[in-house]
Amino acid sequence: MRIDGCSDIEDPAPLAQQAAWQDVEPIAQDDGPSPICPIAYTDEYREMMGYLRAVMAAGEESARALALSGRVIQANPGHYTAWVYRKRLVEALASDIGAELDWVSALSAKHPKNYQLWHHREALVERLWPARAALALPEDQRLANPVLRRELQFVGSALDEDAKNFHA
């Protein structure tokens, strides 16, 4: 699945056909010997998850792992483990937080009530401007900060679209 404004999917070909993934052996999901009700994943999602499990098991912290996490999240925005891994990758790779916020903003247009998305966004904002530093300032100085202004505008827009978006 491709979401406008999200740039993680550079090559839509199956990962097994991409040169960048030839060194990774996907790890299949283990549902045990006799699963009662196996989930009918698409072949594309099953493949992405096999590669995600493999890079996570290897502790890989790379741009390709970050792109893969985004690809998985676009396919399944509620995948908590993929979000946690993505947060770790953003920190480990010292990724551009503004670009990551833009990515999350684009994703939120399609999934405005996704808890994981809002939690990730909160963690990103905290990296840009820690709450402890913000609370040490008088209110007028806090409101003048561009990070806070951006977030207030973003949250305001989300609430304008749906006043019952309790995630915002």
Q: Would you please indicate which residues are annotated as catalytic (active-site) residues?
A: 113
**How far apart (Å, rounded) are the C-alpha atoms in residues 50 and 53?**
5
Q: Which residues contact 154 (CB under 8 A, 6 or more apart)?
A: 105
Own/partner contacts of 162-165, CB < 8 Å, gap of 24 or more, are: 162/112, 162/113, 165/112, 165/113
What value, to the nearest 5°, has the Cα angle with vertex 78 and ends 85 and 66?
A: 30
Q: Which residues contact 86 (CB under 8 A, 6 or more apart)?
A: 66, 69, 70, 73, 120
Q: Which residues contact 123 (CB under 8 A, 6 or more apart)?
A: 87
Under 8 Å between Cβ of 54 and 26: yes
